[in-house]
Structure 1
Amino acid sequence: MLNKSIKFFLENKVITLLLFIAFILMGTVYAPFNWHTGLLPRNPVPVDAIPDIGDNQQIVATEWMGRSPKDIEDQITYPLTTSLLGIPGVKTIRSTSMFGMSFVYIIFEDNIEFYWSRSRILEKLNSLPSGTLPQGVQPSLGPDATALGQIYWYTLEGRDPKTGKPAGGWDPQELRTIQDYYVKYSLSASNGVAEVATIGGFVKEYQVDIDPNAMKAFGVSVMDIMQAVKKSNLDIGAETIEINKVEYVIRGLGYIKSLDDLREAVVTVRDNVPVRIRDVAQVSFGPAPRRGGLDKDGVEAVGAAV
């Protein structure tokens, strides 16, 4: 058979030449390179630099800060695992419980479509019976990308626009704020980006450091201060009022805009005298607690993985 094929192509040189040209043209059309011929249509074959040979899996992450791994396992990981077992196409479920976090890995059969499995998980999470998880705990589905989807790491640095050298004066808290509210949103809007995971720096927050002696003197508890902080950061709607055939919307503006707004919040009243947060605590800006950081050349840095 092979000898006959070789003999046929040797005796029919025109057909051989035409097949060779067709082969070259098809290779040009489907070649996985950025070739711009201008004459032929382009339909490059997708090629992965690192093939994804991992499982067809989805990850459900749940945060319950301050809780031990034992509490996480008993009250979050186990109920979620048993609830997600009934999803069609599930091959197996694995889980990890750690301090303040729970991760459930749902592994599907290879023939299950990726986004179909995500929709089934979201449907199941939204229909969990009341009381399955602790109050205020909300599980979330991980991004639609695998570990091999990390294509770019970068760090954010303050530099002199003229010289290009580090300008100084940028602390990790400022860089983290710029990363979270400017750079991250711009990159997330790019085509094909599933997630921009920020690491490093400090998250800016309002911090209320209570004074036990002052609390005892005024007779207030930690819960009283917590409720005062919570209620002092609210906008209240009060319907509308009509004056001269014009309807006005009435709102109670109460969002915190400065440290003084929080300091002046009333905790309770003693002998017709308001006890304010500044009387029982110190209010300031500060970094949120963190469990990791980013280091570049031995210096604290702020960056992200795309």
Structure 2
Amino acid sequence: MKPFLNVIFTIDQKFLQHFSAAIVSLLENNRDIDFNVFIIHDIEKTETLDNLVQFIKSKYNVRLNLIFLDNSIFENYRVSLHYSKAVYFRLLFTEILPKTIDKALFLDSDLIVTGSVKELAEYQFKDEYLLAVDDAEVTSHVERLNKLGFPIKRYFNAGVLLINFKAWRADGVAGEFIGLANQYMDKLEWWDQDILNMYFYNGWQPMNPKYNAIHLRKKLPQLPVVVHYAGPSKPWLYIHEHPYKNLYWEYLKLTPFKNTKYQDYSFKEFIRKGYIKILNLFHLRPQAVFKDI
């Protein structure tokens, strides 16, 4: 019998293309797992999403469940950079997902799965709330949340989470999350991720970093199971480089977005990228000298 695993994605219109590469990479590399996938979204005109769902169902024979959530309920919540208020959907998982779910794998949409997640599908929780990858490079986040009164010793990245929903529901975490958000909204830098770290500061266990490889500056000796394009360097942006940028485009070719090109490509960006590469060879910092090109 195949191992079974619930998987959750949260998406918005801007990340629909990237989600397609993420879910196809998961399914391509885990044909020996029986998945039940939940897609929580705020997309009102769903024609493209519906077509993508039908494509995935027909190609992989997988269960996909669409759950619409109006993001206006987070009207007073802050976001910035390339993020949308869909990041806060994680705070309501216990309220919008079936009560029969005891365990699920949450995956961000800006990642590629390159190998098996069978170990996670077969993992048996004890009393921990979740498994996550320790983001050891962001000690400043530990210090920041310590100043708010939370005795955090480690800060985890919330892009890949193996969640113990049985424990979450027992503690009524959704109400606690919203309370923290309302109290500390002006002091949050990483929004829902901060909230999860604040609440679960002593209730999570570290996951093998291979399941959420972040802050990558060069290729690793062994290909990670999950390459997470966390941060501003996204593989779909021409100007940005990532050691595993090609993986995103390889899996995107297996989706209905296979003919997509770089949206930010221009002659100006071509020149800028060459300029940055040259400066990097000499370990110099690029200057903003192309504004008039």
TM bucket (normalised to shorter chain) is: under 0.3
Q: Output the TM-score relative to the length of structure 1.
A: 0.23
Which structure shows the higher helix fraction?
Answer: 2
- Structure-2-length-normalised TM-score: 0.24
Q: Which of the pair is proportionally richer in strand?
A: 1
* Structure showing greater relative contact order (alpha-carbon pairs closer than 8 Å, 6 or more residues apart): 2
